[in-house]
Structure 1
Amino acid sequence: MVMSPPGLDIRRASLTFGARPLFHDLAVEFDAGSWTCLLGRSGCGKSSLLRMIAGLALPDRHRIECTTSDGLPLQGRLAWMSQQDLLVPWLRVIGNVMLGTRWRGRWAGPTASEARERALALLSRVGLADKADAWPAALSGGQRQRVALARTLYEDAGVVLMDEPFSAVDAITRLELHDLASELLASRTVIMVTHDPLEALRLADHLLVLQGEPARAVPMAAPTGRRPRALDDPQLLAHQAELVALLREPAHV
């Protein structure tokens, strides 16, 4: 079971791409247990900021100060889900869900069977209990993303970073994945990059738009009500026009 997820406090986040400063001394807070969607024009540094929070390598000059609300290290409490499902083709579905265990060298021992049972339970929750022994090549795009979601949940992390995780599937599958992810990630601190205003408004407790050059984080109120919000929710439709207008503002301010 996931312990109380921490909030994140980002300070002095700076990134320069070549001679172009994408953002400088950016300060952002992410509330504990909330879902924040990060939007902005292509090239503004959304995905790079996510990678900086995760501590992943970047080819450019960057710095970041990231502290947690409980004062404990973020290392070991973070999971990542990307646009590509990144399933390993030579492992069956169950092996892909348990990939983190394999990397950490924890296959052997008395807990191995318990770990497998937990992975099977997660596959059941994402509707793929009958695909545990299938090869990734036999799955549809939507099924592969469900496996990727199960793998993310398997890490049992309090903080989940998601970089456009549903953009590669068709519209109906995306809506289904919204429902599933909203339910299964309810107890976690989620930060998700998306280019889709509707997706952000369905899922987010908080909205942040990276805007300008260098970019600043512009907050926008999300619709109220339980996530994921219905497509015909009047609040969602009203907020959509406002969010699109904000995204269309010129990059240079």
Structure 2
Amino acid sequence: MTTPTQSDARTAVDFRHVDVIFGKRPKKALELLDAGQDRDAIQAATGDVVGVCDATLEVKEGEICVLMGLSGSGKSSLLRCVNGLNTVTRGEVLVRTGDAMVDVAQCNAKTLRQLRTHTVAMVFQQFALLPWRTVAENVGFGLEVQGIPKKQRDEVVAEKLAMVGLDAWKDSYAHELSGGMQQRVGLARAFAQDAPILLMDEPFSALDPLIRNKLQDELLELQQTLKKTIIFVSHDLDEAMKIGSRIAIMESGRVVQYGTPEDIALNPADAYVADFVAHMNPVNVLRGASIMTPVEVLKRLSGGRILVEPASGTVVKLDAEGGAATATATAAAEPSPVVEYQGPEQVADLPAHAVVAAPADITMREAMEIHRATNAPIVVQEDGKAVGVIGHREIYQGILGREGAPEDAPAPQDGKAAGDTSAA
């Protein structure tokens, strides 16, 4: 999924040192919090519960930010600060409305009402559909509250139901739908509001794995078109890694790490995060640049060539700009052109033993599919220059989480591959 980079996108939601205390003695609880007391000690002393503690993070326009952690970590408590469902005890929650940023923690009731109506929409875990209303009436409910005329409402509802594949069910009631279909109604209702910011509180967790995976895919497909700013709560790291542009991992009300899925997978901030990462599936998270063996440690041969895979004797000749030009499976074989990677749809047509040149941001899953089709190494390139190689050892290392270069990749040197009789 392509989203604006952090440098060129505006901030949509900015959490600044947010504390959320549930109870009757928040001032005393904050004093104990500032004194370094933990959640349990504060609850024992005051009866109050620390929902969120000093949470600071920034969500850019067009991103999917996933708040994740174990039950009770504070992820839903933080999410609900964005639309004022939870009161911020201390700190700021700035939400973009047009060209301005509104502090939800300080705004008046009228501003909050406008924000909930036009800026922020929410999809709940338990669907929250009105059982006495039809699917179409549920989807149009927010528009009805806004006072949108019926004809215009009906047009929007029809469009959004078609978007989620439920146009044929518009006259049905919630009890006539499956769980996955009910969740789609919730999505359509949120999309109908046309709010730029969408809050999703564990929307798929009550569904079975197959339906959950399908809805994750559908959300990503819709995001390609809608480009909403989405803050998504999940307790499932694989889900977070799959859909998140960035992930905030929370523990005991605190944000312990915030970064891209790959950053978190490769550089867990502490043992808590490392334990999460140890059980995740890396194939959709890690990128070529992270699992490749750099060109610098590959064996250099005469004539501007590199030995990219010693086991098969595969050699790649570089052009004047340092890009992969031709490849041979063995030193004596006839050279063949390197195939430029165009995307997943190309894999089925790749010839056996073809050496593919792929970009550095190729996913590990794509690299595995290419390697399965060609049984040959992949040359990783940046700006037309070869920077690394991915073969079976790099793929195994990515899966198993082992570090270091493949054991059969020698240190940089000049020389000839076995059987290489060409002149220097």
TM-score range, shorter chain: 0.7 to 0.9
Any stretches of 5+ residues in structure 2 without a counterpart? 1-8, 23-46, 105-114, 264-280, 287-363, 366-396, 402-424
Q: SS of the residue aligned with 1:53?
A: coil
How far the C-alpha of 1:6 sits from its partner, in A, is: 5.2
The one of 139, 151, 168 equivalent to 2:206 is 168
Structure 1 runs of 4+ aligned residues shifted over 4 Å read 236-242
Q: Does 1:27 align with 2:27?
A: no
Q: Describe how 1:4-23 pairs up with structure 2 within 5 A.
A: 7-17=12-22, 18-23=47-52
Structure 2: how far apart are the matches of 1:176 and 1:63? 39
Which residue of structure 2 lines up, in the alignment, with residue 62 of structure 1?
89
Structure 2: how far apart are the matches of 1:179 and 1:85? 19
Q: Describe how 1:48-87 pairs up with structure 2 within 5 A.
A: 48-57=77-86, 62-68=89-95, 70-73=99-102, 75=115, 76-87=118-129
Q: SS of the residue aligned with 1:185?
A: helix
Q: Does the 8 Å CA contact 2:52/2:77 hold for their aligned counterparts?
A: no
Which residue of structure 1 lines up, in the alignment, with residue 254 of structure 2?
215
**Cα deviation code 1:54-104 (max 9, x no counterpart):** 11145xx72341224642448121110110111101110000000102223
Q: Does 1:194 align with 2:215?
A: no
The one of 155, 161, 167 equivalent to 1:117 is 155
Which residue of structure 2 lines up, in the alignment, with residue 249 of structure 1?
none
Q: Does the 8 Å CA contact 1:5/1:188 hold for their aligned counterparts?
A: no
How far the C-alpha of 1:14 sits from its partner, in A, is: 0.4
Which residue of structure 1 lines up, in the alignment, with residue 107 of structure 2?
none
Name the structure, 1 or 2, with higher relative contact order (CA <8 Å, separation 6+).
1
Structure 1: how far apart are the matches of 2:204 and 2:241? 14
Q: SS of the residue aligned with 1:85?
A: coil
Q: Does the 8 Å CA contact 1:53/1:66 hold for their aligned counterparts?
A: yes
1:214–1:181 CA distance, 2 compared to 1 (3 A) = closer
Q: Does 1:95 align with 2:127?
A: no
**Letter matched to residue 126 of structure 1:** V
Structure 1: how far apart are the matches of 2:213 and 2:70? 23
TM-score scaled to structure 1, two decimals? 0.80
Larger Rg: 2
How far the C-alpha of 1:135 sits from its partner, in A, is: 1.2
Which residue of structure 1 lines up, in the alignment, with residue 243 of structure 2?
203
Q: SS of the residue aligned with 1:27?
A: strand
Structure 2: how far apart are the matches of 1:170 and 1:46? 22
Q: Describe how 1:29-48 pairs up with structure 2 within 5 A.
A: 29-48=58-77
Q: Does the 8 Å CA contact 1:33/1:188 hold for their aligned counterparts?
A: yes
1:117–1:20 CA distance, 2 compared to 1 (3 A) = closer
How far the C-alpha of 1:183 sits from its partner, in A, is: 2.0
Q: SS of the residue aligned with 1:42?
A: coil
How far the C-alpha of 1:7 sits from its partner, in A, is: 1.6
Structure 2: how far apart are the matches of 1:205 and 1:188? 12
Structure 1: how far apart are the matches of 2:71 and 2:254? 12
1:141–1:240 CA distance, 2 compared to 1 (3 A) = farther
Any stretches of 5+ residues in structure 1 without a counterpart? 225-229, 243-253
Q: Describe how 1:119-134 pairs up with structure 2 within 5 A.
A: 119-134=157-172
How far the C-alpha of 1:8 sits from its partner, in A, is: 1.3
**Letter matched to residue 151 of structure 1:** R
**Cα deviation code 1:25-81 (max 9, x no counterpart):** 3211111110011111211211111111111145xx723412246424481211101
**Letter matched to residue 146 of structure 2:** R
TM-score scaled to structure 2, two decimals? 0.49
**Letter matched to residue 30 of structure 1:** V
CA-based RMSD: 2.8
Structure 1: how far apart are the matches of 2:20 and 2:399? 29
Q: Describe how 1:212-251 pairs up with structure 2 within 5 A.
A: 213=252, 215-223=254-262, 232-233=283-284, 235=286
**Cα deviation code 1:206-230 (max 9, x no counterpart):** 011112x452341143149xxxxx9
Identity %: 32
Which residue of structure 1 lines up, in the alignment, with residue 371 of structure 2?
none
**Letter matched to residue 197 of structure 1:** L
**Cα deviation code 1:122-158 (max 9, x no counterpart):** 1111111110111111111111001111111001011
Structure 2: how far apart are the matches of 1:162 and 1:240? 30
Which residue of structure 1 lines up, in the alignment, with residue 5 of structure 2?
none
Larger mean CA deviation between 198-207 and 11-20 belongs to 11-20
